[in-house]
Amino acid sequence: MLLSVENITVHYSRLPALREVSVSVDEGEIVCIVGPNGAGKSTTLLSISGVLNPTSGDITFDGKRINGMSPEAVARAGISQVPEGRHVFTTLNVEENLRIGTSMRDDRGEIEKDFKRVLEIFPVLAERRRQAAGKLSGGEQQMLVIARALLTSPRIMTIDEPSLGLAPNLVDRVYETLLDLRNDRGMTLLIVEQSSERALKAADRMYVLRSGQMQLEGNAADLQDGEKVRQAYFGFEEGVAHEGEVAF
Partner 1 sequence: MDWPYIFQTAISALSFGSFYALGALGIGLLFSVLRLINFAHGDFITIGGYALIVPSSAVVATLSIGGFHPALLAICIIVLVTVVALLSYFVVFQHVQNSSPATMMIVSFALGYVLQNVIVMIYEGRPKAVNLFPELTGPIQIADGVSVPLLQLVIIAVTWLLLIALVLFFRRTAAGVQMRAAAEDFRMARMLGVRGKRLIALAFILSGSLAGIMSLLFVTQKGVLMYNMGLSIMLFFFIATVIGGMGSLIGAVVGGYAVGIASVVLSAVLPEDVRPFRDACVFLIVIIILLWRPQGLVLTKAARERV
Range 94-123, binding partner 1 (CB under 8 A): 96-97, 99-101, 103-104
Question: Considering only residues 26, 38, 65, 90, which one is a binding residue for partner 1 as defined by CB under 8 A?
Answer: 90
Spell out the residues 6+ positions from residue 226 whose beta carbon is closer than 8 angstroms to its own: 196, 197, 200, 248
- Please state, in angstroms and as integers, the Cα–Cα distance from residue 207 to each residue in 68, 99, 188, 234, following that order: 24, 34, 16, 14
Element (H, E) at 208: strand 205-210
Spell out the residues 6+ positions from residue 73 whose beta carbon is closer than 8 angstroms to its own: 50, 66
Please say whether the beta carbons of 43 and 203 come within 8 A: no
Contact call for residue 80 and partner 1 (CB under 8 A): yes
Element (H, E) at 181: helix 168-185
- Count the neighbouring beta carbons within 10 Å of the beta carbon of residue 218: 14
Range 51-70, binding partner 1 (CB under 8 A): 51, 70
Question: Considering only residues 42, 44, 67, 81, which one is a binding residue for partner 1 as defined by CB under 8 A?
Answer: 81
Contact call for residue 148 and partner 1 (CB under 8 A): yes
Residue 70 or 183: the one with the smaller Cβ distance to partner 1 is 70
Question: Considering only residues 1, 92, 124, 126, which one is a binding residue for partner 1 as defined by CB under 8 A?
Answer: 92
Spell out the residues 6+ positions from residue 198 whose beta carbon is closer than 8 angstroms to its own: 163, 171, 175
Count residues contacting partner 1 (CB under 8 A)? 26
User: C-beta of 92: minimal distance to partner 1 in Å?
Assistant: 6
Contact call for residue 141 and partner 1 (CB under 8 A): no
Residue 74 or 170: the one with the smaller Cβ distance to partner 1 is 74
Q: Tell me which residues touch partner 1 (CB under 8 A).
A: 49, 51, 70-72, 74-76, 80-81, 83, 87, 89-92, 96-97, 99-101, 103-104, 148-149, 152
